[in-house]
Structures are given as structure tokens and as C-alpha cells.
Structure 1
Amino acid sequence: MSFYTSLNGLKNAQSSLGTIAHNIANSETYGFKRGRTEFAEIVAGSALSNPRTIQGIGSSVEAITQNFSLGPIEQTGSALDMAITGDGFFTMRGENGGTLYTRAGSFTINESGGIVDNDGNRLQAYAVDANGEPTSNALQDVQIPVTNAAGAEYAGVTVGSDGVIRASYADGSNEPVGMVALATFMAPNGLKPVGSSNWESTGFSGAASYGEPGNGQYGALLSGSLERSNVDIAEELVGLITAQRNFQANAKAIDTATQISQTVMNLRT
């Protein structure tokens, strides 16, 4: 019994080490959220067992939870680098038509005037009128016209704290082209990480609730800034030492059980 109990402990310690290593590896990844391995005790007993003698048989990995606390904000100066000051997520439409959510607000303009991330996923926004007010709750790709109605060429773009994207043109005019839509979830820990600091919604997270930047829990936008990883290297190194000691202790328990078994087998009648 002690072999399997300690073997479970080794596997759990290995899972903890893997999670910490993943956190450390992404300490410089924009929009990354650190994970934490949580364990649960395993006990074995029946309805007829004496509750005072029920024996524990180890532990198991109960969950690897994500910590969605706000990471440090780094100023970059690029208008399409955006950080969220609240709980919101940027919404993107993937190449396959799927919906992705991210906190990494590093966007650029592609050759057709769309606002995309480094993988080509398109930022989603609300359509707006000439005053920058949303005209619909439907989400759509942001599209910046190459020229305005007067024929003037595109000159630049700005994003306000209210999420309104305004394109400027060579004739000095500024035209709103959309308002960044932010999503929140009832249980963000239920989001499924899919890589590149992106998540997908699941039944555990619940459906996304969409809103405007600067409104309630969604948070305002900081243009010219990016949210860094919320990994604390010092904290992770302490956790790494703890997980290593846990692994060593379980390995020692297996070694001790082996010695006891060997002693029993060597008994002579």
C-alpha cells in the first residue's frame, strides 16, 4: 500500500513541478496568467469501517487553477497596444471562425485594414456612429478604411480609454471606426487555455457577457500599454523548492518501503 501511496505523491509533485516550470517559462509572456496545482486527500473506507481507523491512501491532483489577477502594466507607446484595467477580455475571431479571448492586447493593422494579433486573429468591436456611440450589440471585425469619404489617405489610429478606435486621415479629419468590445465571465477559472495567451469559453466558465470599456467590471483601456505576465519569480522559486522537497520525501518513502519489504522477505523461520 505504501508503494502506491508514495507513487501518487511522486506523480503529484511532478505535476506541481511542471506547473511551476510553465509559470517560470512564461514570466515574460504578455497577458499570461499563472497556474497553481491543488491537491486533494484520498481515503478508503466502507460504511462498516470504524471512522477512527480509516486510513488515508495518498493524494491526487484536484485542479490546476488559473490566477487572473492583474499583471504589471508596461508602457510601449504603440496606439494599438492595449491593456485592460479591469476583469475584461479582448474578443477575437480566429481564422477558423472560432471565438478566442485574451488579455494580451498587442495588435497591428494588416494589409486590408483589419486589426489583428500576431496570429492573424481579428479584434472584435461594436459598430459606432459619427459620434463614437455604439449602434448595435452585434460584434464585428474592426475595419479601417484606406481612404475616407473625401478621398484622403489613412494617416494613423488612436484608441481612447472608452475603447473607441478613431482613424485619422491626411486631410486632418478623425473618424470613429468601432468600439472595442470586452467580455467577462461568471467563472473565468473555467476558461480553457489554448496557447498564445488565448482562452476559449467552456461550460465551466459560462457564456461571455459583453460590454463597453470603462463600464463596471469590464475595465477601461490603456492605449500604448501592455499587461505583462502576473508571474512572481521569487514566489515561483520558493514553490519550486517546496515541490522538489515533496518529490524527494516521497522518493524516500518508497525507498524505506523497499527496505522493509526486503527485510521481511529475508526473514528465516
Structure 2
Amino acid sequence: MADLTIAIALCVAVAIVYATAALIQAGYAHLTVRELTRVPLWWVAQGLNAAGAGLHVVSLGFGPLSLIQPLGVLTLVIAVVFAASRARRRMTRLETVGLVSTVAGLAGLAMIITTGGTPDTLTPVELTALLAGGTVLVGGLVAKGSRPGASSLWEAVAGGVAYSICSALCQTVVVGVGTTGAGVLLTPFMLVAIVAVGAFAVGGTVFTQRSYRDGLAAPLAVTNLVNPASATAIGVVFLGETVATTPVEVVLATACGILAAYGVTALARAREAEPELLPA
């Protein structure tokens, strides 16, 4: 129970940090990636993302991927609150309903999800399969989103998948070090995992930044729905984690999932003050 409390507290801190970074990034969504590299405040956002990632990695040592990742949707909730505060306006009724629904649905899912116990790690075969499948999937999504006139939400999906793969790899590294010591970091298996963490983290950052070009709420909602969904799938397929299995648990989990999805959809539809473009 103590580990669960720590994990949830860390997830809330991560959500606050990520929400702040997302609001900064949205203010520069009109710039190309090359132009962004010359904007000091954008690098502050990347520093916040790095700090959030660090806290997220720590949280993976206290709970399973299928529980930690869904709490990431709180980033959207906090971002909406921050956006309203920055615009000096009160939250709309739709935003309030969306916030309450999202929190209630996520709380229910967190209590219903069951796991096999302690966090697990990927085997070499599982690592290879995850990297190959993940690269193909993310590459296909980015290619589709890069077509002229394509929706930016394709890149939001790619970002969500990339971040979930990164989280699974981070959990393998964290648990591996905790089990066998820091020396394991020098093994070929761990070196590949560490390099892949960097690649998917950078990719996820670039894809989500590009997805903000048509607005913040919708792509942030999509990323934060795809992220836990794909992370849960990775946890079940590769890490031996389990989800609701009894009929009652399935019904309750489905209801909570629908409630959370409705909340996120409402937040994405809610009127949000246009991000103030910051001077470059």
C-alpha cells in the first residue's frame, strides 16, 4: 500500500510538470523544430519534460506499467486548469464536467486493475519484438500524419505509442538495476534498451510538438488516451501483468473506462483560450 501511495503521488507530480511543458510548447506550435531549437523558453519546456520523465522512471519502481500509465491522463486535466488560469477566466461547465469525469474514471480504473505483483522486465526476445513492432507502428503513424492535409492527431497517436514503449523500456532498466545492481547497465541487452529509451523519448517529444500545430486540447487528449492504452497492452503481452478478469471487474472497468474517455473527450471539446504566442 505504501508503494502504491508513492507511485500515485509521483504520477501527480509528473502530470503537473508535463502539463506546464505542454502549455509552453503549444505557444510555439507555429514554429518548425529547427526554429524551436533557437527559442530559450522551449528548452525550458524540454527541461521540464526531462524532469517529468525522471520522476516517471522513479514511479515505475513502485508500481506496474498498467497502473502507472493511465494516471498520465491527469496531464490533460491539469493543463486545462492551467490554461484557464493563464487566460484569467473561470473554467467552463464542459471543462468542469470533463475534469470530474476523468478523475473519477481514472480513480476507478486504478482500484480495479490487478497485477501479478512486482514490476517485471522484458526478456531479450521480448525487447527485440517490442522494438521491431514499435518502430514499424510509430513509423507508419508518422508517415500518415506527414501527408499534406493530414490530421495532426496521427502524430499525437505516434507520440502516445512512443512514450508508452519508452516507459516499458525504462521499467526494464529500473527493475534490472534494482535487482542485480548498476553493473547490469554495461550488458549489451541493457545498452540497447537505454539507447532505445533515448530514441523513443526524442521521437515522442518531436511527434507531440508537431501535433500541437492545430491546437493543444485535442492532440493532448489523444496522446494521453493512447499512452495508457498501449502501455497496458505492452504490460499484458510482454510483462505478465493482468487486468480485470471476473465479470464484475470487467463491467466496472468498462464503465470507468467509458467515464474517463467521456471526460477526456469533454475536455478536448471544451472552449480553451488560444495559447498566447510567446516572443522568439
Same fold at TM > 0.5: no
Larger RCO (CA under 8 A, 6+ residues apart): 2
Max Rg structure: 1
Give the TM-score of the pair, scaled to structure 1: 0.20
Give the TM-score of the pair, scaled to structure 2: 0.19
More strand by share: 1
More helix by share: 2
